Amino acid sequence: MADTASAILAHVPAAAGTDLVIFDADPIEFPTKENVEVSRVPIVAWRIFEDGSSVPIMAGIFALEFSSMAKYLGAPDGRIYDMRAEIWHADIDAAKANFLAGEQVIWRARHGQSPEGRA
């Protein structure tokens, strides 16, 4: 995420088919493949800052909202980029599986279980 002290250098149109991929799991229930929701929001442009950082510009989503979302980017070729881990996933299913595994570890930790699911 860009440092807000850095001045905006440019706005660059995004490639067609580039989108923000949002995964959401209900924190009350144990996360499963069936209860992870997936949403996609088209990225219309990139805001480029003088320090070389950039943030996506999406219709209807403000920067503060973006900062609290799972940060995955969908590329036009179908690959998904995990901005937190800085890795590419082959497709939406692989990215969802990675997100799900992380959410399950978090859920188990919050509910006093080992990462393998044992109490």
pLDDT at 2: 46
The residue behind tokens 């860009």 is 2
Residue type, position 20, single letter:
L
| pLDDT tens figures, 67-107 | 555 679 999 999 999 988 899 999 999 999 999 999 999 89
Q: How far apart are CA 30 and CA 66, in angstroms?
A: 25
The residue that leads in pLDDT, 99 or 63, is 99
pLDDT at 5: 63
CB atoms within 10 A of CB 95: 24
pLDDT at 1: 47
Can you give the residue ranges of every domain in the chain? 8-110
| pLDDT tens figures, 4-54 | 567 988 899 999 999 989 898 887 889 999 988 898 889 999 999 999 888
Helix, strand or coil, per DSSP, at residue 65? helix
pLDDT at 93: 96
The distance from CA 61 to its chain's CA centroid, rounded to whole angstroms, is: 14
